[in-house]
Structure 1
Amino acid sequence: MRTTTASLSAVALLAALVVAQPAASAAPDGQDEYTAAAREFGVPVSVLLGVSYLQSRWDGNAGEPSRAGGYGPMHLTDGARLRQGEHHDGEEDPRGDTARPLSPRQSTPTTTVPDSLRTIDRAAELTGVPLERLRSDRRQNIRGGAALLARYQRELGAPASEPGAWYGAVARYSGAEDVTTARQFADDVFDVIRSGATRTTDSGTTVTLPADAGVRPAVEQVDRLGLRPPEPGAECPARLGCEWLPAPYEHYDPSDPGAYGNHDQARRPRDLDIRYIVVHDTEATYDRTLDLVRDPTYVSWQYTIRSSDGHVAQHVKAEDVAWHAGNWYVNAHSIGIEHEGFAAQGTWYTESMYRSSSRLVRYLAQRYGVPLDRAHIIGHDNVPGTVPSTVRGMHWDPGPYWDWAHYFDLLGAPLRGVGGSRSASVLIKPDFATNRPAMTGCDSARPADPCPARGSTSVFLHTEPSEDSPLVPDIGLRPDGSASTRQVSDIGGRVDTGQRFAVAERRGEWTAIWYLGGKAWLRNPPSAPTAVGSGGWLVTPKRGLPQVSVYGRAYPEEAAYEGTGVPYQAVTPLQYALPAGQFYAVGDLRPPTAYYFAQTWEGPRVVVRGDQRYYEIQFGHRVAFVKASEVDLTWRW
């Protein structure tokens, strides 16, 4: 099964590339810098282009750092500029069980920066170019990357000849400390070289890597890098660099039965279905994040992925329940994956991270039957509050700069609308590169300042079909009903790629959707659509009901607790309502109705199952649940 999964993942990743085989006489645009740098340092241009694609997809990102502190198309890393951060901030209780709240805890920070995150210093030594120019000047950044590759090739004693002889230098460029991650990076680079690719970068120029199907990489060179061998224990697909770094399950205060952490033991999927995979960002560096998850008094998640090379660490087995999403129901039925980075500061994720994450998610989805759609592969920002009092404190990562469309391309499940221009519902799908909504607050020291213009997955929602009208309100975030804002952390008035909503009205270049119990307008011009027609299942209140409640968890009815010894967990509605006449897109026709009772070190641990049926719906930016008995289900194109 592992081999099959790995093969499928490789096919999906290759399918995500745009293959190009231009005529030999064609003069490719936008890559003179690569050609010149390759010639200057004696690096095959296809190798230089392939490495850059795996780091940044040839984008310069306006000289802004990646989530790992990497700059420019060659991702030259500047560890001195990394924030340490804290994994959890705000009011959210990561465990998310109102029957057993988790008190906020802090962990001792670390300031260690590994050598793999200091490549910009070595590039400066090799080229004589100041650090600031290597960060901001595209041509100099590419020269710095070429100089590093040439140095690695010389140190290997390998011939500077045809592209395949550069496999070891490419593997070293990843910065990986283990042989599996280094191999995966180099394999991906050479897959791109074999397939070819073309892409318009964020600077508007076109870069082309002609296909070289005959390249034969010298894979044995990796054995000369002295890297750490594969380690057993992690639940990962074959070929993915993955290690087992367990989160401690400890009873750290014998006088308190509830003083244990930082996760709960279970027997999933035998006792609890796994229905969701939650995408997080760490809000801290990779090393800092590992410090946090190894603290028994802190919280946990199943996996962490490093930005610089896509390396994966697993901390909690899939069978156990990690404390990561802020909603106990979601925790009990999900796997949490943390991605090194910051939702606002640090602007982009590396291609290596996207690819490792997509391989891991595809493997987990196949293993546990999780559908590859945006109702089940969700961001932390899509997780609902459990009860009205927790809604405001829920987290908003991975934020508006996570490229959901590209991610699902890599998963082999492209986000496509199923329907036409007059469909009853729409799939949110702006062009990530050109969709650059104005936001504020990316710099926490200057929250009123505009964020840099950058590609985004988010589309803002207005109260009227006009850019001048206020953004729609979210009473869970602002009980006074005031308008949402363009703060990068304010998800109240925006939707993201892959989410589906029922259409309420169309007017010119504007489309209205049903959202949080009201009508919300998004600009959707035919020449640059932000949403595409996509039919599917919808729900609306049953005839005669003026409105129905929405819930943040699909808990059992009271009768289900009889004889279990477990206290009844109230099925408490959120502060919103779904009014008659409105329709909402269904993401899951039968989410599990269950409550997992796990409160003390000694136990007991009991799963309470109910007969009450729910539907998962896309109600606002976050998902929610409605009782099936209170709504009518209809399929509409």
Structure 2
Amino acid sequence: MARRPVVLLAAALAAAGLVQAPAVAETSDRQRAFAEAAREFGVPEPVLLGVSYLQSRWDVNGATPSTAAGYGPMHLTDLRTAGSGSHHDEGAEDPRGDDARKPLRPEAPAAPPDVPNLQTLDEAARLTGTDTAALRADPAQNIRGGAALLARYQRDLGGSGSDPAAWYGAVARYSGATDTAAAAAFADEVFATIGTGADRVTDDGMRVRLAPTPVAPRRDQLARLGLRDTGTGPVECPSGISCEWIPAPYQQLPDNEYGNHDKANRPRDQKIDYIIIHDTEGYWDGVLKLVQDPTYVSWHYTLRSADGHIAQHVPTKDVAWHAGNWYVNSKSIGLEHEGFAAKGTWYTEAMYRTSAKLVRHLAAKYRIPLDRQHILGHDNVPGTTPPTVKNMHWDPGPYWDWAHYFDLLGAPLGRAEEPPSRPNTGMVTISPDFATNRPTFTGCEQGVPLCPSRGSTSVILRSEPRPDAPLLADIGLRPDGSPSTMHVSDIGSRVDTGQQYAVAEVRGDWTAVWYLGQKGWFHNPGGATAKPARGMVVTPKPGKASVPVYGRAYPEAAAYPPEIKPQDIVPLQYTLPAGQRYAAGLSTGSEYFSATTFDPANHRVIKGKTRYLQVQFGHRVAFVNADDVRVIPSFAP
């Protein structure tokens, strides 16, 4: 991972009022901890480093739990302490988001199940004689606990020795997977990492290196773990990852209702434009029960945190009910990642990697560009009409590492022209350093004022170029016009890595971008927070004081046949004023997928003549009528 000079970053963070990350320690206690634990428990050091990398990338994450209740570099799990939480409980989003049908109001996710692979900390404590609190909080003790578990798993298989190839079975078991394909996929990824090596600085400033160590692991050990065979079915996954079919039911219900998705024929009838990244707000077993409930909502894939295993529930040709916006649902594939946006938990490397492999596969299949105009978080999906804006969900949250995710996708974000062909490109790509960018969010845990100090993808916008200026107002979230807040769920004055915005003004080390009809300022010394970019922007045509902004790209009324009621084209509460510019995303025709009956023979796609342009209008995208705006290069005067 490339890192910016520490002095420059420290100055930027201090000026913006952020928490400063520790300086880099070139002589690493973390490296020594791995070496000492490997010797103490007889685990080959490359195996210990490889397992840890695939769980945490050697980070400590402030001794807080992962999205699978895991702590520390070795991801020792402790569900009793980690608990659960749900931002979904706080919102009234209708996941289907179709005005032609009554809103869905799903029940909140169930309490976390009692799952053995989410409680490995107790066994690590027994094997090491170390207090559980120390195993959660002390990185060196955590590494000892992980090494002790690996050594025990190896003994259970009747193995020992220093040859990494003989530890395949122990590594597979460490994943916590209960089926063969998931355990094998995790172990294969660990040994691939051992073969290629890794070298990075952790979130607490420790440099750790895994030297490339080519190994031909003994995969025959997998059969001795006694795991179940992985379920088969019509999965749409790339080779080399673990994926099974757990279908969401398409079932007729009383009162002419049905669930929990819609039959379609994509991409023949509708182009798939988006992949939406969600988190589950629940643990794996409980979430799978929910998606198999015909009265609940649906999504296409669920990804497990500890090992990256994937379950597919809905064929990608069909429309799932997941994004709270029927237009986006009709044009997207939804991926739910085991995790909690509100708790400030962290996402495992195993899940990032399999998610990236799946998204690469789907993007290639459906010709979806790998950029932040097409790969959206649920938090980037717009409300459909003014009343729905405040209820939209905001996962995967500010701790999802978009930069790392796009590196894994093979489409790195935030690369500026070197050198820029023009002194002012008129646009920036948001690109803070994830590890050192630490906004002081609130509200992650009930009764705890501040969220953990942790790397974040989010940059906070202010109303003036100074660190103590008020945040911007978002009239969709607060109709009274009061400023946004630092609550972890409040996206009213926040931009994220990879998003692109038109530059409104530059004053010294501060840059302003156009955002929800306002100037939003962020500290950007030497391009530490955002990189110059070039692209197309939209601005109202001459003579228009402002143009309306929409949450969906629906057809004009004349496009509908007599038997289908036209959907109202309702502007959101925002407008795009003359003189302002917004980064243009995709250009799209207008469509509405009419699917209000259980019989798919009655489903129909209505296409109009109206064309829309997607814009990065705030934290969320929005749409403008192409006839209302000019599309010009970002650097045009």
Please give the range of the TM-score, normalised by the shorter of the 2 chains.
over 0.9
- Asked whether the 8 Å contact 1:441–1:488 carries over to 2, the reply is yes
How far apart are residue 108 of structure 1 and its match? 7.6
Structure 2 counterpart of 1:273, from 271, 286, 299: 271
Residue number in structure 2 paired with 1:636? 634
SS in 2 for 1:55: helix
2:555 — aligned with what?
A: 556
Distance 1:86 1:249, change over 3 A: farther
User: Is 2:107 aligned against 1:109?
Assistant: no
Aligned: 1:142 with 2:143: yes
Partner Cα distance (2:505, 2:218) in 1: 59
What is the aligned partner in structure 2 of residue 129 from structure 1?
130
Among candidates 356, 361, 365, match of residue 363 of structure 1: 361
Partner Cα separation in structure 1 for residue 159 and residue 369 of structure 2: 45
Quick check: 1:441–1:487 contact (8 Å CA) kept in 2?
yes
Q: Does the aligned pair in 1 maintain the 2:85–2:342 contact within 8 Å?
A: no
The aligned counterpart of 2:536 is 537
CA distance in 2, matches of 1:87, 1:497: 22
Task: Read off the aligned partner of 1:287 and give its amino acid letter.
Answer: D
The one-letter amino acid paired with 2:595 is: A
Q: CA deviation at 1:570?
A: 1.2
Contact 1:56 1:351 in 2 (8 A): yes
Aligned with residue 433 of structure 2, among 421, 426, 431: 431
Distance across 1 between alignment mates of 2:227 and 2:44: 25
* 1:148-297 matches, cutoff 5 A: 148-213=149-214, 215-233=215-233, 234-253=235-254, 256-257=255-256, 259-297=257-295
Q: State whether residues 542 and 632 of structure 1, in contact with CA within 8 Å, keep that contact through their aligned partners in structure 2.
A: yes
Indicate the SS of the match to 1:300.
coil
Residue 173 and residue 341 in structure 1: after superposition, are their counterparts in 2 closer, same or farther (change >3 A)?
same
Structure 1 pair 441/27, CA: closer, same or farther in 2 (3 Å)? closer
Report deviation, 1:80. 2.2
The answer on whether the counterparts of 1:80 and 1:113 sit within 8 Å (CA) in structure 2 is no
Partner of 1:30: 30
Aligned partners of 2:458, 2:110: CA distance in 1, in Å? 32
- Any conservation in 1 of the 2:86–2:340 contact (CA below 8 Å)? no
CA distance in 2, matches of 1:317, 1:17: 39
Deviation, structure 1 residue 28: 6.3
Shift in Å, 1:442: 0.7
Matched, 1:58 2:58: yes
Please give the secondary structure, in 2, of the residue aligned with 1:520: strand
- Offset of residue 623 of structure 1: 0.2
Deviation at 1:369, TM superposition (A): 1.1
Deviation, structure 1 residue 103 = 3.3
Deviations 1:512-568 (A, max 9, x none): 001111111111111x711110110111111111111110000011111144x2111
Any conservation in 2 of the 1:56–1:72 contact (CA below 8 Å)?
yes
What per-residue deviation string (whole Å, max 9, x for no partner) do you get for residues 54-82 of structure 1?
01000011211111110000000112234
SS of 1:391 mapped into structure 2: helix
Residue 465 (structure 1) aligns with: 465
Query: Is the Cα contact below 8 Å between 2:87 and 2:393 reproduced in 1?
Result: no
Give the Cα separation in 2 of the matches to 1:623 and 1:157.
56
Structure 2 residue 610 is the aligned partner of structure 1 residue 599: no
Distance 1:98 1:530 in 2: 40
Question: How far is the alpha carbon of 1:109 from its aligned partner?
Answer: 2.8
Letter in 1 for 2:165: G
The 5 Å alignment of 1:448-487 reads 449-487=449-487
Distance of 1:65 and 1:105 partners within structure 2: 27
Separation of aligned partners in 2, 1:187 and 1:599:
45
Listed as ranges, the matches of 1:406-417 within 5 Å are 406-417=404-415
Amino acid corresponding to residue 438 of structure 1 in structure 2: T
Match of 1:21 in 2: none
Equivalent in the alignment of 2:508: 508
SS of the counterpart of 1:442? strand
Corresponding residue of 1:8: none
- 1:263 deviation in Å? 0.8
* Structure 2 residue matching 1:612: 3-state secondary structure: strand
Which amino acid in 2 is paired with 1:531?
A
Deviation of the 1:354 alpha carbon: 0.5
After superposition, the Cα gap between the structure-2 partners of 1:525 and 1:554, relative to the gap in structure 1 and judged at 3 Å, is: same
Q: Displacement, 1:468? A: 1.3
Query: Which one-letter code corresponds to 1:134 in the other structure?
Result: L
Contact 1:274 1:368 in 2 (8 A): yes
Other structure's SS at 1:208 match: strand
Shift in alpha-carbon separation, 1:229–1:592, aligned structure 2, 3 A: farther
CA distance in 2, matches of 1:365, 1:203: 35
Measure how far apart 1:507 and its partner are: 0.5
What is the percent sequence identity of the aligned residues? 59
The C-alpha deviation readout for 1:263-289, integer Å capped at 9, x for no partner, is 111111111111101001111111111
Letter in 2 for 1:315: H
In structure 2, distance between residues paired with 1:304 and 1:87: 18
For 1:288 and 1:34, locate their aligned partners in 2 and report how far apart those are by CA, in whole Å. Answer: 35
Moved more, 415-424 or 577-586: 415-424
Which residue does 2:15 correspond to in 1? Answer: none
1:378 paired with 2:401, answer no
SS at match of 2:450: coil
CA distance in 1: counterparts of 2:349 and 2:262, whole angstroms? 33
Q: Aligned with 1:513: secondary structure?
A: strand
Q: Deviations over 1:161-195 (max 9, x none)?
A: 21111111111111111222212211111111111
Gaps of 5+ in 2: 4-25
1:353-382 residue CA offsets vs partner (Å, 9 max, x unmatched): 101111111111111111100111000000
The one-letter code sitting in structure 2 at the alignment partner of 1:327 is: N
The DSSP-based 3-state class of the residue aligned with 1:65 is coil
Q: Deviations over 1:122-160 (max 9, x none)?
A: 111111111111111111100000001111111111232
- Contact 1:83-1:284 within 8 A present in 2 as well: no
Contact 1:556 1:608 in 2 (8 A): yes
Pick from 341, 349, 352: which aligns with 1:351?
Answer: 349
Q: Is the 8 A contact 1:41 1:147 kept in 2?
A: yes
TM-score (norm 1): 0.92
Give the Cα separation in 1 of the matches to 2:175 and 2:450: 33
Q: What is the SS of the residue equivalent to 1:172?
A: helix
Counterpart-to-counterpart distance in 2, 1:83 and 1:500? 36
Measured in 2, the distance between the counterparts of 1:360 and 1:29 equals 36
Q: 1:164 to 1:296 in 2, by over 3 A?
A: same
**Aligned mates of 1:340, 1:374 — CA distance in 2:** 21
In 1, Cα distance between equivalents of 2:176 and 2:564: 50
Partner residue, 1:609: 607
Aligned to 1:572: 570
Contact 1:429/1:532 (<8 A) preserved: yes
Question: 2:86 touches 2:342 (CA, 8 Å); kept in 1?
Answer: no
TM-score (norm 2): 0.92
SS of residue paired to 1:593: strand
| Aligned mates of 2:589, 2:151 — CA distance in 1 | 55
Q: 1:185 to 1:383 in 2, by over 3 A?
A: same
Asked if 1:45 is matched to 2:42, the reply is no
The CA distance in 1 between the partners of 2:543 and 2:533, in whole Å, is 28
CA deviation after TM superposition for structure 1 residue 317, in Å: 1.0
Runs of at least 5 residues in structure 1 that lack an aligned partner in the other structure: 1-15, 19-25
Query: Are residues 84 and 494 of structure 1, via their aligned partners in 2, closer, same or farther at CA, if it must alter by over 3 Å?
Result: closer
Q: Report the CA distance shift for 1:86/1:434 in structure 2 as closer, same or farther (over 3 A).
A: closer
2:107 aligned counterpart, secondary structure: coil
Q: Write the distance in 1 (CA, Å) between the matches of 2:561 and 2:194.
A: 62
Q: How many residues are paired up?
A: 606
1:95 alignment partner AA: R
